[in-house]
Amino acid sequence: MKIYVPRDAAALGVGADQTAQAIADEAQRRGIAIELIRNGSRGLLWLEPLVEVDVAGTRVAYGPVQAHDVAALFDAGLTAGHPHPLGHGATEQIPYLKRQERLTFARVGLTDPRSLSDYLVHGGYRGLAAALARQPADTVASVTASGLRVRRGAAFPAGIKWRTVLGAQSAQKYVVCNADEGDSGTFSDRMLMEGDPFVLIEGMTIAGLATGATQGYIYLRWEYPQAKLALEAAIAAAHAAHYLGQDIQGSGKAFELEVRMGAGAYICGEETSLLESLEGKRGQVRFKPPLPALQGLWGKPTVINNVITFASVPIILDRGGEFYQHFGMGRSRGTLPMQLAGNIKHGGLVEIAFGMTLREILYDYGGGSFSGRPIRAVQVGGPLGAYHPESQFDTPLDYEAFAAIKGMLGHGGIVAFDDSVDMAAQARYAMEFCAIESCGKCTPCRIGSTRGVEVIDRLIAGENAAKQETILRDLCETLTYGSLCALGGLTPYPVISALNHFPQDFVKPVRQSSASG
């Protein structure tokens, strides 16, 4: 009798450890022999802790299950998959999950993330086997052919970066994973690292073999201690089985991997700042060129990609670039793990091919707001993403379509706000966040963000409002065109979109009446 209780941080945050303990105790009390497996999360986060019971090969879901529900669930016949008010039937048949196209997240929630043998049973390391059987240039060609793009900001094709590193002449090259997932509204990297750490390790190993890099680093944010535990356990297991080390699967090729912890700096999600941090310095942004692909970590050629990018590589190698290319629309190929967050009824991970509209994901998957009030604004793409009003909800989720409405998909975070939101406060927060997280290297970001907070304060106080708005727009233009990196360069997105789409929130009398009502 297998029972699954996630060890995902989000599940732990709502009591999964207590639930697991209660299940173990209750089973023992009743003399039922169970095997308790601590899996990753299925991504149906509003149902966490989501308990699954294996009934003759079918997994039956119950959730959210708190420790105090456990005895009643056993009474109702949990171990036989019997119905209960907390029951949802077969997990795979839950519409939220059934309608998804899980490629990158195929194993997350399904397997035991600490078990290498479970990973192998579920198709793990087939991508690495394919990579070992071919020339590095062919591996790079497959990644390029797949259309896989770097899942952040400009969404640059990953294969081009790899080709540059492969072509660079150097005795030492590096592979660096950007696991500094700092965008509010995003948690797909965390879920993947906690739920299927081996796939990231495999993807980075393939990148090492394909580009001639022998040392890899995963730069992980301190806010993810569970991910650290999962990665370190998986790295140790991979090492012991020669999937990492000096002689990978008898090929004579070497790749070593180490987890390095960040220390609470949003800017370290910017790749050059991350490299500085890895070198043990302040996370200040570097000028480009030189590109990290040519002069990256310690000045050596470096592949630096996001977690989801590396994690997409094994399936591309295993199934072929064309298989992956088949998903998606336009120039956005493959799937995108979207994250539904904020004031949303059914928050969680939704991996779908590009092209679904914002409205579909908010209502068909998300089920509307958590509070039950109308959704008024949605921020897509993290704290540097634009706020979208209802009139833009029919935009398809695609890099180019969002660029066309002055927004960005970024890392796929979708944060919903109901009609109690004060958009002037959100605009002010965007500037404040930029001021707190600025690395200080360039003037528009370092000083402009603080001035931005002050201008917005005067604007919403109604001090010569028309003039303040002109100053704010001018300041935003300076930030956009004068900043060294995306932090200063994109902070105007949330500010200007709030101002353009919700101007009434910036007018003093309306603000007061909405605040009191």
Partner 1 sequence: MSNQSPRRVIPIKVERQSSLTAKEQSAVIEACMRLKGLPGALLPILHAVQEELRFVPKDAVPLIARELNLSVAEVHGVVSFYHYFLQERPGRRVMHLCRAEACQALGSVALEAHVKAKLGVDYHGTTRDGAITLEPVYCLGNCALGPSLMIDQQLHGRVTAERFDALVTQSLEHS
**Interacting residue ranges for partner 1, rule: CB under 8 A:** 9-10, 12-14, 45-46, 48, 181-187, 189-190, 222-226, 260-266, 277-283, 298, 339-344, 347-348, 370, 379, 383, 413, 415-418, 421, 425-426, 429, 433, 436-437, 439
Which CB sits closer to partner 1, 241 or 254? 254
Instruction: State whether residue 296 is helix, strand or coil.
Output: coil
Which CB sits closer to partner 1, 1 or 236? 236
Instruction: State whether residue 347 is helix, strand or coil.
Output: coil
Find out whether 484 and 441 touch, Cβ atoms under 8 Å: yes
CB of 282 to partner 1, least distance (A): 4
CB of 68 to partner 1, least distance (A): 15
CB of 222 to partner 1, least distance (A): 5
CB of 191 to partner 1, least distance (A): 8
Determine the Cα–Cα distance for residues 268 and 263; give it in Å rounded to an integer: 9
CB of 385 to partner 1, least distance (A): 9
Instruction: State whether residue 274 is helix, strand or coil.
Output: helix
Is 80 buried (19+), middle (13-18) or exposed (0-12) by CB count in 10 A? exposed
Tokens of 280: 């043990």
Find out whether 156 and 293 touch, Cβ atoms under 8 Å: no
CB of 416 to partner 1, least distance (A): 6
Strand 2-4 to 51-55 pairing: antiparallel
Which CB sits closer to partner 1, 21 or 144? 21
Stated as kind and residue range, the H or E segment containing 161 is: helix 158-167
Q: What residue type is assigned to position 499 of the chain?
A: L
Determine the Cα–Cα distance for residues 84 and 69; give it in Å rounded to an integer: 11
CB of 22 to partner 1, least distance (A): 18
Which CB sits closer to partner 1, 130 or 179? 179
CB of 487 to partner 1, least distance (A): 12
Q: Radius of gyration (Cα) for the chain, nearest Å?
A: 24
- Please give the C-alpha separations between residue 471 and each of 80, 438, 463, 497, in angstroms, as whole numbers: 66, 21, 12, 16
Which CB sits closer to partner 1, 45 or 207? 45
Which CB sits closer to partner 1, 83 or 264? 264
Which CB sits closer to partner 1, 222 or 481? 222
Is 33 buried (19+), middle (13-18) or exposed (0-12) by CB count in 10 A? exposed
Tokens of 322: 């064309």
Residue among 395, 385, 398 at smallest CA distance from 149: 398
Which CB sits closer to partner 1, 35 or 419? 419
Which CB sits closer to partner 1, 321 or 348? 348
CB of 393 to partner 1, least distance (A): 16
Find out whether 193 and 118 touch, Cβ atoms under 8 Å: no
Determine the Cα–Cα distance for residues 331 and 325; give it in Å rounded to an integer: 10
